[in-house]
């Protein structure tokens, strides 16, 4: 173990707020790069100063403790600084992806009762357009640069400030996607710090690491497992606004990237784009999460890079980590690993095969949904158990396997059909980049509908695919329809938007 590794794991007093992680790390690694993007970089010492200066600007702009502030942005140093500065004021940061529609931005502004909205137009044309459409004025702040400041909401009511880091909200994370009413998960400072510390330790992050930060900070995976873990460890986080497989390939080859987080779709597109020319001389940790990992993709990545593709599982309501594979215990299957240290899990109402709903309790569980007490009570029991809605089985060695979402379960002719099993088979077929399987209601039954994204320039042999499915799946699991799309609809994290596919399936003739 190096000196820096030894220092990284030295016990220290608990942190109360997320920004305190930066101050602590700066005491040992003041001149190391903390954050960087295409426009600027900040050392840990500079980041401490930037947080204080930005907190002062926010306070002068009318932000108070307990206020909600909407951050309309794509990944940037400026976004990370403002998130930490809001925590310094005990305000609640609600970061949302600038690529969302105007309707969604308006929904979030109304639902959150935001005191203020910041639009990060310097790094995002979409954010600039949203700001200009809402009468935001241009300002320039030290270490943050140019941004648009929305009108102050004089009617906004501040929430009570809690001294306890486990009760004080740090972030509102919206999970409703493009349909339905907004649903905002309230995550505390303690939630984010717990998951950040977990990832720091389990992936053995050190100050010498360079972490590729393409997962959006508007998503909790990017916020806690990437940003907070990086800041706690003293590593350098390279923030990237949008995923581009060619840019990622270039960074892996030439920019000393040692830690990579991504959704399975990102890894699939990296392999598809880079081919035999891919190289990653410094890469030591590759982590998949945010969606189910399939065995063909795991095997293809490991063959190309000679490195285990680690797996994990979580959800926004758990900040997000629940399970992770262990760094020094490589797996040849697609288990999401063991529960992370410090939490409890149980399987509710298991069937004859041991499959049931996973429930979790611990410091990662959310405070609830903002302004939705009934939904909060339905999701988290009075004694702290979070119902995940995910169906799992747990092997004798404690390894957790995700079978599917309880809401995505397809019941066909009285048999349970789990989409992930069919997706694994489809993804193993040559020329399939990724797939998604949904159910469609028909008279007295449900159909299995499969959507595929095929590799460009490689015609899909449908007869061979059907033969592959017949050889691999029981008759009741066979898709009734296979629809090939140029691209599967996906969120900025790469997670396939199954709600959109369910709607498309319902509209098929």
CA separation for the pair 446, 68 (Å, rounded): 43
Backbone angles phi, psi at 250, to 5 degrees: -65, -45
- Report the half-sphere exposure of 79 (CA within 13 A, side-chain side): 32
The answer, yes or no, to whether the previous bond of 385 is cis (omega within 30 of 0) is no
Q: Which residue has the tokens 């709903």?
A: 357
Q: What is the pLDDT of residue 175?
A: 83
Q: What is the pLDDT of residue 2?
A: 43
CATH fold match for the domains 16-188 and 243-406: yes
What CATH architecture applies to the domain 243-406?
3-Layer(aba) Sandwich (3.40)
Kindly tell me the number of DSSP H helices and DSSP E strands found in the chain.
Answer: 16, 26
Query: 70-108 in b/e burial notation, b at 16+ Cβ within 10 A?
Result: bbbbbbbbbbbbbbbbbbbbbbbbbbbbbbbeeebbebb
Identify the DSSP state of 399: -
Per-residue pLDDT of the chain (509 residues), as tens digits, is 343 443 444 456 799 999 999 999 999 999 999 999 999 999 999 999 999 999 999 999 999 999 999 999 999 999 999 999 999 999 999 999 998 889 889 999 999 999 999 999 999 999 999 999 999 999 999 999 999 999 999 999 999 999 999 999 999 999 854 335 678 999 999 999 999 999 999 999 999 999 999 999 999 999 999 999 999 999 999 999 999 999 999 999 999 999 999 988 899 889 988 777 899 999 999 999 987 888 989 999 999 999 999 999 999 999 999 999 999 999 999 999 999 999 999 999 998 889 999 999 999 999 999 999 999 999 999 999 999 999 999 999 999 999 877 778 787 876 778 788 899 899 989 989 899 999 998 776 789 999 999 988 778 899 999 999 998 888 889 999 999 999 999 887 778 888 899 999 989 97
Phi, psi of 460 (to 5 degrees): -85, 125
Strands in 303-398 per DSSP E? 309-314, 321-324, 338-339, 344-348, 356-361, 368-369, 386-394
Answer positive or negative: Cα dihedral of 93, 98, 99, 105. positive
- The predicted pLDDT at position 387 comes to 96
**CA distances for 447 relative to 436, 452, 474, 508, angstroms:** 14, 16, 14, 12
State the pTM of this model: 0.85
CA distances 240 to 31, 40, 98, 467, 480, Å, are 22, 12, 14, 42, 40
From residue 405, alpha-carbon distances to 171, 206, 279, 297, 422 in Å are: 25, 35, 35, 21, 14
> What separation in angstroms does the CA of 293 have from each of 262, 268, 466?
11, 10, 22
Its CATH class, for the domain covering 410-506, is alpha beta
CA dihedral (485, 488, 489, 494) in degrees, to 10, reads: -160
What integer pLDDT is reported at residue 442 of this predicted model? 79
Query: What is the DSSP annotation of 129-147?
Result: HHHHHTT-EEEEETTTEEE
CATH code given to domain 16-188? 3.40.50.980
Interior/surface letters 380-407, b for 16+ CB within 10 angstroms, e for the rest: beeeebbbbebbbbbeeeebbbbbbbee
Cβ proximity of 336 and 291 under 8 Å: no
What separation in angstroms does the CA of 438 have from each of 68, 174, 377, 469, 484?
36, 24, 28, 16, 14
Spatial separation of the C-alpha atoms in residues 496 and 504, rounded to whole Å? 13
- The residues pairing with 72 across neighbouring beta strands, listed in sequence order, are 96, 119
Q: Number of C-alpha atoms within 13 angstroms, CB side, residue 144?
A: 32
Q: Which two tokens mark 101?
A: 């529609």
The reported pLDDT for the residue numbered 179 is 38
Nearest-angstrom CA–CA distance, 489 and 179: 13
pLDDT of residue 298: 95
pLDDT score of 1: 38
Per the listing, tokens 């609809």 go with 489
Report domain extents, the chain.
16-188, 243-406, 410-506
Task: Please check whether residue 315 is in contact with residue 388, taking contact to mean a CB–CB distance below 8 angstroms.
Answer: yes
Give yes or no for a contact between 33 and 48, defined as CB atoms under 8 angstroms apart. no
Neighbours of 455 (CB within 10 A): 13
């Amino acid at each position: 173990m190096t000196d820096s590794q030894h220092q990284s794991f030295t016990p220290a007093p608990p942190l109360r707020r997320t920004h305190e992680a930066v101050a602590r790390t700066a005491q040992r690694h003041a001149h190391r790069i903390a954050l960087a993007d295409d426009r600027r970089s900040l050392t840990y010492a500079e980041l401490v100063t930037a947080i204080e200066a930005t907190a002062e600007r926010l306070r002068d702009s009318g932000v108070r403790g307990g206020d909600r502030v909407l951050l309309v942005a794509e990944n940037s140093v400026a976004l990370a600084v403002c998130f930490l500065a809001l925590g310094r004021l005990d305000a609640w940061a609600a970061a949302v992806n600038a690529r969302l529609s105007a309707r969604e931005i308006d929904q979030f502004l109304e639902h959150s009762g935001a005191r203020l909205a910041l639009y990060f137009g310097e790094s995002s044309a979409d954010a600039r357009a949203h700001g200009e459409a809402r009468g935001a004025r241009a300002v320039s702040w030290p270490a943050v640069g140019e941004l648009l400041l929305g009108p102050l909401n004089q009617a906004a009511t501040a929430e009570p400030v809690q001294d306890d880091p486990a009760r004080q909200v740090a972030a509102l994370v919206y999970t409703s996607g493009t349909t339905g009413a907004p649903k905002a998960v309230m995550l505390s400072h303690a939630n984010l710090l717990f998951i950040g510390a977990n990832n720091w330790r389990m992936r053995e992050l050190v100050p010498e690491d360079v972490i590729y930060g393409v997962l959006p900070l508007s998503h909790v995976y990017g916020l806690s497992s990437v940003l907070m873990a990086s800041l706690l460890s003293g590593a350098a986080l390279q923030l990237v606004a949008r995923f581009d497989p060619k840019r990622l390939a270039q960074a892996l080859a030439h920019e000393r990237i040692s830690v990579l987080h991504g959704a399975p779709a990102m890894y699939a597109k990296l392999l598809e784009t880079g081919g035999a020319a891919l190289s990653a001389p410094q890469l030591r940790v590759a982590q998949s999460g945010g969606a189910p990992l399939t065995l063909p993709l795991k095997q293809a990545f490991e063959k190309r890079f000679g490195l285990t593709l680690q797996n994990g599982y979580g959800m926004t309501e758990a900040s997000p980590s629940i399970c992770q594979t262990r760094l020094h215990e490589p797996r040849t299957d697609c288990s999401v690993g063991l529960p992370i240290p410090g939490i409890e899990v149980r399987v509710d109402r298991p069937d004859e095969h041991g499959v049931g709903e996973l429930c979790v309790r611990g410091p990662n569980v959310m405070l609830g949904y903002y302004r939705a007490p009934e939904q909060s009570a339905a999701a988290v029991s009075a004694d702290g158990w979070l119902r995940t809605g995910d169906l799992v089985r747990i092997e004798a060695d404690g390894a957790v396997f995700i079978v599917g979402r309880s809401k995505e379960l397809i019941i066909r002719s009285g048999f349970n059909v789990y989409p992930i099993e069919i997706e694994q088979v489809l993804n193993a077929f040559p020329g399939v980049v990724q797939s998604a399987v949904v159910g469609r209601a028909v008279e007295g039954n449900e159909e299995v509908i499969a959507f595929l994204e095929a590799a460009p320039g490689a015609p899909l042999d449908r007869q061979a695919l059907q033969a592959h499915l017949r050889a691999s799946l029981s008759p009741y699991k066979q898709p009734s329809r296979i629809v090939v799309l140029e691209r599967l609809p996906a969120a900025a994290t790469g997670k396939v938007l199954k709600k959109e596919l369910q709607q498309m399936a319902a509209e098929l003739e």
